[in-house]
Structure 1
Amino acid sequence: MPGPSPGLHRALLGLWAALGLGLLGLSGDALMATTTATASAEQEGARQLVCNVTLGGESRETRENVTVYSFPEPLLTLSEPNAPEGTMVTVTCAAETQALVTLDGIPAAAPGQPVQLQLNATEKDDRRGFFCDATLDVDGETLSKNESVELRVLYAPALDSLGCPERITWLEGTEVSLSCVAHGVPPPNVSCVRFGGAEVIEGLMRVAREHAGTYHCEATNARGSAAKNVAVTVEYRPVVAELAASPPGGVRPGGNFTLTCRAEAWPPAQISWRAPPGALNIGLSSNNSTLSVAGAMGSHGGEYECAATNAHGRHTRRITVRVAGKWQWGGGGMRLM
């Protein structure tokens, strides 16, 4: 059958556009009509589309089956999105259609019905997530949509040993901050004050021995407060603060002398000595801080070194002992001049 003339083509195109019926395409002797239809909720279910063409007194038609369905996102709601601790919270998962919903793996009793979960909100439930899944069968195909929500639980501050230890150790000369972290919702404000002082300790500081002591830390939010005492220990390298001889200035042969070594360190330093070669019969106190010689001889004269050592370093200091003079023999035995 011959197709319409070019003039008729143009007329049809103009009429189709004027009626707002969609698009009408021309390809050789063929006409192709395209239109768009919007389905309404009342039209849900199985429907049939019919395309009918009449030309020169003859008609042709073709039919296509189509299923109209509605499948919006599932509705997942919390009765209390920000629930104070101890509040009963209801979680509801529902769908607007005949979809089957599942809340955290718990399915509804039947399609189109909601499923609910109730809980007594505790600190452990804060930031707990809930997952709502909806499935809909359409012409043998299963469609799926989901939604998720997070619960916030409001609770009073807590200062535990992980975020705020009872004991803290710093090293002299390093930069630190007194960091005491509190748990709580809303996030607590934390302040620390040294006992006997009023200034709040904030930011970085260079550690000095004077920073050792006990600090009182307090955390507060809208739900309450918590307090804790923190003991700060400052460790530092050893320094031999004093090395002295008694008697000072030297000793005569046969006399007694004592060397005392005092170190400042934390943790306490271990004391060790280096004596002149050949110096024998040297006595040490229980903590090695005192070296003593009874009946000094010439070999005891010379340089003595005291060393203080701990985990953070070593420090030494030296002193020279003079053994000088003559033995004098008398009736009662020898005596010193």
Structure 2
Amino acid sequence: FFSPAADLPEEPQLQTSLYIEVGTRAPARCRVAGVFPVAGEARFNLSFWGESLNFTVTTSGDTATAQGEVRSPSPGQHQLTCTVTVGPVSRSAGQSVLVYRLPEPILEVTESRTLVNSSVTVTCRSPEADPPGVLLQLREAERVLVSSAPAPGQPHVQFQLTAGEEDNGREFTCEARPGSDIPAVKRTSARLTVLYGPRMDDSGCPREWIWKEGTEQTFSCLSRGNPAPDVVCMKDGVPVSIGVQRQVSREDAGTYHCKASNAHGSASRDVTVQVECKWPLVDPPAGDLEGGVQKC
């Protein structure tokens, strides 16, 4: 009886990430083809950083594959090694893996809630990384406000502004990337709240309304401000409902006194309502009739 000699004609092929973050896991695969006489006789030893890994083995035809996970608690360059044995024949392969530490960047705003016209400083910094050298960018949406070249230690960048109304809700993002070829990025975001008193203008509170008697209309008067102002409108000393639809009568004509208030101030505005009245079935005075209606 002739027993064929065991053989491993091909080198094992290792597959894993070239870069792994401290404390995370990544799959590691060792594959060997051409196992003779049968793939099921292949014996694997998979190790990382000198420690054996747990793994499972699958076969398909003359190919055997060991699948495990690599994880490292400390940064540095470490070796993943796979040794495959069939009978007296062994073959090994290795791959270098860089385990890195990239902490979450820190984003600081001098006053995340600030009064309008106040000076605000936004600071983006990174705790020490390994390997050292971090590229920082302070961004707003897709726009880079300020960036730094890769630097060791704890690099930082700053952006200063005078807070305006338009800056309310403005979001800043601190972005950190390793200075090397490691394809990683960490981000931290913060939103700026700008507090300011009421602002009343024609876009929110028109100074004049012209309504036709009998139609459905809504008296509207809005004010900008942060926090949102309370708006009160009075006519002849009587509060008026704002934002509520009503049927127009000639008694609605007149001047409305509106006042907006919040914790940072107040603003006032007079609004005039003119009502075009339907003329009764008598001839109106000459020149008073226009388009079938007359102003009351």
2:219 counterpart SS class: coil
Superposed displacement of residue 161, structure 1? 2.6
Superposed displacement of residue 186, structure 1? 0.9
Q: Which amino acid aligns with 1:52?
A: T
Give a deviation string over 1:97-128, Cα, whole Å, max 9, x none.
33211223311254351212233323232122
Give a deviation string over 1:127-150, Cα, whole Å, max 9, x none.
2233434333444x6655555443
* Structure of higher RCO (CA pairs closer than 8 Å, 6+ residues apart): 2
Aligned equivalents of 1:65 and 1:20: distance in 2? 16
* 1:43 alignment partner in structure 2: 75
Superposed displacement of residue 238, structure 1? 3.6
Identity of aligned residues (%): 35
Q: 1:210 to 1:30 in 2, by over 3 A?
A: closer
**TM-score normalized by the length of structure 2:** 0.68
1:127 aligned to which of 169, 173, 183: 169
* 1:225 alignment partner in structure 2: 266
| Unaligned residue ranges in structure 2 (runs of 5+) | 7-34, 45-51, 139-143
Give a deviation string over 1:202-237, Cα, whole Å, max 9, x none.
411111111111111111222222222212111234
Q: Say yes or no: does 1:189 pair with 2:230.
A: yes
Aligned equivalents of 2:238 and 2:69: distance in 1? 76
Q: Say yes or no: does 1:100 pair with 2:111.
A: no
Aligned equivalents of 1:233 and 1:79: distance in 2? 50
Q: Which amino acid aligns with 2:171?
A: G
Q: Say yes or no: does 1:177 pair with 2:222.
A: no
* 1:88 alignment partner in structure 2: 119
Superposed displacement of residue 172, structure 1? 1.3
Give a deviation string over 1:244-291, Cα, whole Å, max 9, x none.
xxxxxxxxxxxxxxxxx5449xx932xxxxxxxxxxxxxxxxxxxxxx
Q: Which amino acid aligns with 2:137?
A: T
* 2:247 alignment partner in structure 1: 206
Richer in helix (by share): 1
Q: Which amino acid aligns with 2:169?
A: R
* 1:306 alignment partner in structure 2: none
Q: 1:150 to 1:53 in 2, by over 3 A?
A: same
Aligned equivalents of 1:117 and 1:312: distance in 2? 62
User: What RMSD in Å do the two structures reach over aligned CA positions?
Assistant: 3.4
Query: Which has the greater radius of gyration?
Result: 1
* 1:320 alignment partner in structure 2: none
Aligned equivalents of 2:63 and 2:207: distance in 1? 88
* 1:64 alignment partner in structure 2: 95
Aligned equivalents of 1:62 and 1:83: distance in 2? 60
Q: 1:72 to 1:236 in 2, by over 3 A?
A: farther
Q: Which amino acid aligns with 1:61?
A: S
1:124 counterpart SS class: helix
1:14-25 correspondence to structure 2 within 5 Å: 21-25=54-58
2:206 aligned to which of 165, 168, 182: 165
Aligned equivalents of 1:224 and 1:186: distance in 2? 11
Count, aligned residues: 242
